A and B are shown apart, each in its own frame.
Chain A
Amino acid sequence: MAEAKKYPAPVTNPETMPFWEAAKAGKFMIKRCTACGEAHYFPRSICPFCFSDKTVWEEASGEGTIYTFSLMRKSPTGPYAIGYVTLKEGPSLQTNFVDCDLDKLKIGQKVKVVFKPTDGAPLPFFTPV
């Protein structure tokens, strides 16, 4: 049932296009600032930590741990689990947990990225390892 869920295609824009182009090739990208060394997500051209424009794309491992989640039971498209993952590289991001028993999710659990198709570029989700 969850597999049948239709996800909206990213609109995309010039600033984030490389992320979506990489996603089509199955790569999960983050941005890193070469001035302050910090990685961030979602990707920006100007570093949100030091305002430097020296940000570069970097392929992330796609591995992380669940920071928190909430299982949304009241939804016309069926229950879904929204949450935050803290990536191995540092940044935390919002996502849904998929392809798993939603009642067994736990804070601290190890997860990895999976891409789900849309009518445009695929979207990143996370699933327990």
Chain B
Amino acid sequence: MTIKGKAYIAGIYEHPTRHAPDKSTAQLHAEVAKGAVEDAGLSKDDIDGYFCAGDAPGGLWPMVDYLGLNKVRHVDSTETGGCSYIIHLGHAAQAIAAGKCSVALITLAGKPRTGPMPPRAAGAEVDFEAAYGATTHNAYGMCAMRHMHDYGTTSEQLAWIKVAASHHAQYNPHALLRAVVTVEDVVNSPMISDPLHRMDCCVVTDGGGALIVTTPEIAKRLKKPLVRLIGHGEAMKGPRGGKDLDLTYSAGVWSGPRAFEEAGVTPKDIKYASIYDSFTITVLMQIEDLGFCKKGEGGKFVADGNLISGVGKLPFNTDGGGLCSNHPVNRGGMTKIIEAVRQLRGEAHPKVQVPNCDLAIAHGTGGLLGVRHAASTAILERV
């Protein structure tokens, strides 16, 4: 049993807003749902599967009712932070392959730029960790610090990741930060949590995105270029009782190979990569973990523009990514899939479109890389 080729991404929509104080969170979900359904050329009542994560107000029952999804016969509220939507994509493919639904809607939306987000529910570790003040910045900072110690990775190498993202963002009219920056700009920006500077960090944006995932038969009746899922993986990693702690790799070391194996392709075959970029170190570690280079050689790999479309070997995050364009609800998995689909459809900005882009990866991390996190990998193919 495989999901290879069993599900197609027929609709995508990224909300153009980056700041939405005048809208409700549920409204943003509805707007992205409408956008994705219209992009696919379907209608609301075609939707019979619905997927959402912790950002959806009230979860499944309130959302299904609010959106008016009266035909839904399959639901999934898997919550793994920012990579939830990449996991949803794989689960939607499973449900479609099993005949449990035929048109699945996945939505993400929220407003962290307008106001603070509700706290996450505590886990069993709460009394043993909550007082120490782990945040996204320092949890990723701890990974970067150890990666530098073990492999000699430098701040300048990390800075190249932001530089590449900024080169792409200049062509995205919706990007929050469109200015092209230099390595010097990044390493001279204020230190937030050692060794991560302000420009090593992603943007905080309101907004959202949505996907329509469907059967091969339905996708082929629609007008959009055909993009299908051919491999998928998911994995989780934490301190694991404190044994053999190693913060220099992510759960991508497991989700990546699972996805590549199912797809029957290798990292060398990938033409475009959407790589979760909550911080520069996130990108560097995931590129290593997915096998684009050896562990410890990510610093050299990302330097000198190797991630810039038209310049380097691995064009990444051609929308400007979370580092420059959009990181709606502090959850970047959705926009990773959307830009990969744009590339495969040939709908990316002409300045960043990868020629003949027929194979792409969308990979994400959720939670805190240096504490507990999930990872998910999707391999997408243009048919």
| Cβ–Cβ contact B134 & A82, under 8 A | yes
User: In chain A between 24 and 46, which residues have their CB closer than 8 angstroms to a CB of chain B?
Assistant: 38, 40-42, 44
Partner of A92, one of B127, B145, B245: B245
- In the complex, how many residue pairs between chain A and chain B have their CB atoms under 8 Å apart? 116
Interface residues of A, count at CB 8 A = 40
Contact with B along A50-78 (1 / 0, CB 8 A): 00000000000000000111111111000
Cα(A86)–Cα(B245), bound, Å: 8
Of B76-84, B190-198, B283-291, the one touching chain A = B190-198
**With A93-B239, A95-B132: A82-B146 Cβ-Cβ less than 8 Å:** no
A11 in the interface, Cβ–Cβ < 8 Å?
yes
Cα(A91)–Cα(B239), bound, Å: 9
Interface residues of B, count at CB 8 A = 38
**A86 — which chain B residues lie within 8 A by C-beta?**
242, 245
- Identify the closest chain B residue to A30 (Cβ): B242
Closest chain-B Cβ to A117's Cβ sits at a distance in Å of 12
Contact with B along A89-114 (1 / 0, CB 8 A): 01111111000000000010000000
- Identify the closest chain A residue to B146 (Cβ): A68
B243 in the interface, Cβ–Cβ < 8 Å?
yes
Residues of A within 8 A of B (CB): 7-8, 10-13, 16, 20, 38, 40-42, 44, 48-49, 67-75, 80, 82-84, 86-87, 90-96, 107, 118, 123
Residues of B within 8 A of A (CB): 124-135, 137-139, 141-146, 149, 190-196, 239-243, 245, 247, 370-371
The 29 sampled A-B contact pairs (Cβ below 8 Å) are A7-B131, A8-B131, A11-B127, A42-B128, A44-B124, A48-B241, A68-B143, A68-B146, A68-B149, A70-B194, A70-B196, A71-B193, A72-B138, A72-B141, A73-B190, A73-B194, A80-B133, A82-B142, A83-B142, A84-B239, A86-B245, A90-B243, A91-B241, A92-B239, A94-B128, A94-B134, A95-B132, A96-B132, A96-B133
